[in-house]
Amino acid sequence: MVWGYAESVSKNNIIEKNHIHNLGKGLLSDMGGIYTLGVQPGTVIRGNLIHDIEAYAYGGWAIYADEGTSHVIIENNICFNTSSACFNQHYGRENIVRNNILAFGKEAIVSLGRAEKHLSFTLERNILVSNGSPIYVFGYMASEKECLFLSDLNVLWDTSGEVVACISFNDKTKLSIAAMRKLGYDIHSEVADPAFVDIEKFNFTLKECSPAFRLGFRASGIANPGT
């Protein structure tokens, strides 16, 4: 793998069907259950169960797309209980994050470290569940007129109360769902209880009445700790 956007021989990697859990244990920082780096066309991260990632100071992520991660598909994963975000992209371009269940990141559910003047990633048909933290956190905040990422057709929920759509590390800007929609994010997403069988026991099996199915979400079939 190569840092940034330089040419790399890393491509067409398939990372799937792993159970990754209890990493860091409050002793390590800057880590992820799955870590990627650089331009990787054809690489797919799918069908993984990742949970209980705890950093010492910073950077306890489930899926960590580090410097230059590009052209990677991240789909059908269940990630929960992280000391930072469930999915973090430091910087990169044109990744696709779809059909994942991302829940209970202590800092956020999805974070973007550095915004650049291109599409960082597309986030669609995911279930994003918080417990008092914002859904999105941006680090190096770009202008509101720049496209940080594309997001739509997601289910957004906060088990503690009001959903906070976004906050910026830099200036502590806090945006509501309505404000984010005015900027073009999550226009067709639903703010609704996803209807898990037993979220308190981390059983992320969806009931038939789940609003996620209306938005095109497909159950991954991953066995999870609550089943």
Per-residue model confidence as pLDDT tens digits over 97-134 = 999 999 999 999 999 998 888 899 999 999 999 999 99
Q: What is the mean pLDDT of the chain?
A: 92
So what's the pLDDT on residue 227? 65
Asked if 42 and 64 touch (Cβ cutoff 8 Å), the reply is no
87 contacts 61 by C-beta, under 8 angstroms: yes
Q: Of the candidates 222, 190, 226, 181, which has an alpha carbon nearest to the alpha carbon of residue 209?
A: 190
The mean pLDDT value for 4-22 works out to: 94
Instruction: Please enumerate in sequence order all residues whose Cβ is within 8 A of that of 174, keeping only pairs 6 or more positions apart, or say none.
Output: 134, 164, 166, 167
Sign of CA dihedral 146, 84, 62, 6: positive
Q: If you average pLDDT over residues 220-224, what whole number do you get? A: 75
Instruction: Please provide the distance, in angstroms rounded to a whole number, between the alpha carbons at the two ends of the chain.
Output: 37
Q: Residue 195: name the closest of 184, 210, 181, 205 by CA.
A: 210
* Share above pLDDT 90 across residues of the chain, in percent, rounded to a whole number: 75
Q: Which two tokens stand for residue 169?
A: 């590390």
**Residue at token pair 């054809």:** 42
CA distance 26 to 183: 37
Angle 75-138-39 (CA atoms, 0-180°, nearest 5)? 50
Q: Token pair of 123, please?
A: 């986030």
* pLDDT score at 74: 98
> Number of C-alpha atoms within 13 angstroms, CB side, residue 67?
8
Poorest-pLDDT segment among 6-15, 74-83, 89-98: 6-15
**Is pLDDT of 42 > 90?**
yes
- Residue in 124, 8, 28 with CA at minimum distance from that of residue 70: 8
* Cα angle for residues 14, 127, 58 (degrees, 5° grid): 70
Render pLDDT for 196-213 as a digit per residue (tens, 0 to 9).
999 999 999 999 999 999
Quickly state the pLDDT bin for 183 (edges 50, 70, 90): confident
Predicted local distance difference test score (pLDDT) of residue 141: 56
Under DSSP, the state recorded for 4 is T
What sign has the CA pseudo-torsion 67, 95, 41, 218? positive
Per-residue model confidence as pLDDT tens digits over 122-179? 999 999 999 999 999 987 655 555 567 999 999 999 999 888 888 877 767 788 899 8
